[in-house]
């Protein structure tokens, strides 16, 4: 390509036998790359632009993938059946995990766990930062066995009144709640990646190739766990990292 654009840099190699012309190569590249690129843009772009939720974007991706399979003439009954079976298996696996988390949340609430945990934290009479550390560690431990919805129903109602009772960086109550929730979500996401439980890894295990072992997946998430720790430390030390974008969005409305 360089010798074509700048002949003075050197001579082009002679074309191989049966080598297609450049126009045909460009057409093959466009037909192979542009449709998947447009599909990726449709799915991720709709989420980032706020036009669709992740579930709605996933539905758009499924429809787009089906249309691409038809366009490439690769959609057969066998492929469709395999896709449906994998979808049912993965969905059943995720729903069983959610069912277990919901059952645990119900038993925990009925047994008085909400009130007991809140009383325990208040009775400790710790200062602001140790209390925040205990709350985040509690969320980290709960993330091993509970889904996000159950965590929101159990941990957040307990911890919000406790955290807002302290003074962190002289933040107003509204900004304090946003900052704490961002830290809370970062900690939850970290727990979903941390072995040995790591619910996110079990989701990936359901769609990964059989050749990829669970131990290899555990090793692969270690850099991401460390990055989560760096992000959490940055948000704890610099609250504006979590508050700048929400403030910008609310100002736009």
Q: What is the pLDDT of residues 15-27, one digit of tens each?
A: 666 777 767 777 7
In a domain, 166, yes or no: yes
- In which residue ranges of the chain is pLDDT below 70? 1, 4, 12-17, 22, 97, 101, 105, 109, 113-114, 117-118, 121, 153, 249-253
Residue 89 sits in the same domain as residue 69 = no
Domain extent at residue 66 = 20-75
Same domain as 159, residue 41? no
Residues 188 and 134 in one domain: yes
Asked if residue 153 and residue 205 are part of one domain, the reply reads yes
Say yes or no: 187 and 141 in one domain. Answer: yes
Answer yes or no: is 126 within a domain: yes
Angle between helices 22-48 and 54-71 (to 10 degrees): 160
Domain endpoint, select from 75, 93, 114: 75
pLDDT score recorded for residue 40: 87
Q: Are residues 138 and 245 in the same domain?
A: yes
Residue pointed to by tokens 């499924």: 62
What is the crossing angle of helices 77-110 and 113-124, to 10°? 60
Same domain for 130 and 222, yes or no, is yes
Helices (H) and strands (E) in the chain, counts: 12, 0
Q: Same domain, yes or no, for 122 and 24? A: no
Same domain, 120 and 25: no
**Distance of alpha carbon 107 from alpha carbon 146, whole angstroms:** 12
Q: Is residue 204 part of a domain?
A: yes
Would you state the structure tokens that stand for residue 210, as one six-digit string?
């059989």
**Predicted pLDDT at 236:** 92
139 and 69 together in one domain: no
**pLDDT for 253:** 47
Q: What angle do CA 42, 46, 52 make, to 5 degrees?
A: 125
pLDDT value, residue 230: 93
Residue 13 lies in a domain: no
Q: Is residue 214 part of a domain?
A: yes
Reported as half-sphere exposure (CB side, CA atoms, 13 A), residue 236 has a value of 17
User: Looking at the 3D structure of the chain, how many domains does it have?
Assistant: 2
Q: Clarify whether residues 89 and 150 are in a common domain.
A: yes
- Let me know whether 29 and 145 are in one domain: no
User: How much is the CA Rg of the chain, to the nearest whole Å?
Assistant: 25
The per-residue pLDDT for 25 is: 73
């Amino acid at each position: 390509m360089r010798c074509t654009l700048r002949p003075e840099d050197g001579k082009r190699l002679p074309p191989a036998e049966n080598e297609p012309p450049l126009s045909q190569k460009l057409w093959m590249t466009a037909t192979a790359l542009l449709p998947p690129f447009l599909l990726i843009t449709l799915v991720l772009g709709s989420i980032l632009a706020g036009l669709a939720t992740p579930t709605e974007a996933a539905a758009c991706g499924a429809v787009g993938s089906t249309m691409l399979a038809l366009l490439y003439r690769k959609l057969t009954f066998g492929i469709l059946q395999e896709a449906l079976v994998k979808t049912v298996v993965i969905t059943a696996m995720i729903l069983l995990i959610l069912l277990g988390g919901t059952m645990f949340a119900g038993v925990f609430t009925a047994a008085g766990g909400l009130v007991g945990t809140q009383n325990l934290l208040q009775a400790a009479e710790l200062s602001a930062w140790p209390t925040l550390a205990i709350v985040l560690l509690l969320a980290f431990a709960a993330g091993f066995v509970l889904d996000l919805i159950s965590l929101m129903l159990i941990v957040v109602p307990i911890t919000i009144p406790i955290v807002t009772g302290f003074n962190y960086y002289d933040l107003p109550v509204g900004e304090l709640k946003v900052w704490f929730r961002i830290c809370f979500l970062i900690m939850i996401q970290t727990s979903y990646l941390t072995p040995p439980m790591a619910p996110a890894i079990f989701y990936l295990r359901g769609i990964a190739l059989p050749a990829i072992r669970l131990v290899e997946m555990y090793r692969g998430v270690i850099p991401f766990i460390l990055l989560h720790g760096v992000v959490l430390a940055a948000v704890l030390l610099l609250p504006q990292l979590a508050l700048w974008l929400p403030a910008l969005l609310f100002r736009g409305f």
